[in-house]
Amino acid sequence: MYHPISFTPSQIKYILCLHRLSQDGQGVKNVELAGALGLSKPSVHNMLKSLSALGVVKQEFFGLAFFTEDGRVWARKYTFCYTYLENKLSEICGSGAVGESALCGLLADMPLDKIDGLYHGNAPKESL
């Protein structure tokens, strides 16, 4: 698995959204991802190129974006860690007190070994 030094908060946001939209195992169209994120198709195209260079996604020419095997692993880890931290921070700060951008920023600032540790230490065994 390719380990980048870190993912940016924006990359994590895209990974989370792509994971949510591709739950059925099908690819996701740029326009669908753009709509879900409230961004332009060119912005989505550029980010998917960036994620592709990191080995997280593959994109068919004028087609669908799919996670690579490594990308699926990162998507599961970040989705779990995002939800876990969102729930813990909601317990402390109140529901909805910490927004998506703040959570993605927190995840981006966490060393990847800490993401792995949080995931492997808390995720249900069937999701590992």
Q: In 10 A of CB 48, how many CB atoms?
A: 20
**Encoding tokens for residue 34?**
């753009």
Tens of pLDDT along 76-119? 999 999 999 999 998 998 888 788 999 999 999 999 899 999 99
Give the pLDDT band (50/70/90) at residue 4: low
Q: What is the per-residue pLDDT for 5? A: 65
Q: What is the per-residue pLDDT for 65? A: 93
Residue in 21, 24, 51 with CA at minimum distance from that of residue 36: 21
Q: Which residue has the higher pLDDT, 95 or 56?
A: 56
Residue in 5, 10, 82 with CA at minimum distance from that of residue 43: 10
CA–CA separation, 47 vs 26, rounded Å? 19
pTM, full prediction: 0.89
3-state helix, strand, coil in the chain (%, to 5): 65, 5, 30
Write down all domains in the chain, each with its CATH number in brackets: 7-123 (1.10.10.10)
- pLDDT exceeds cutoff 60 at 61: yes
Q: What is the per-residue pLDDT for 83? A: 95
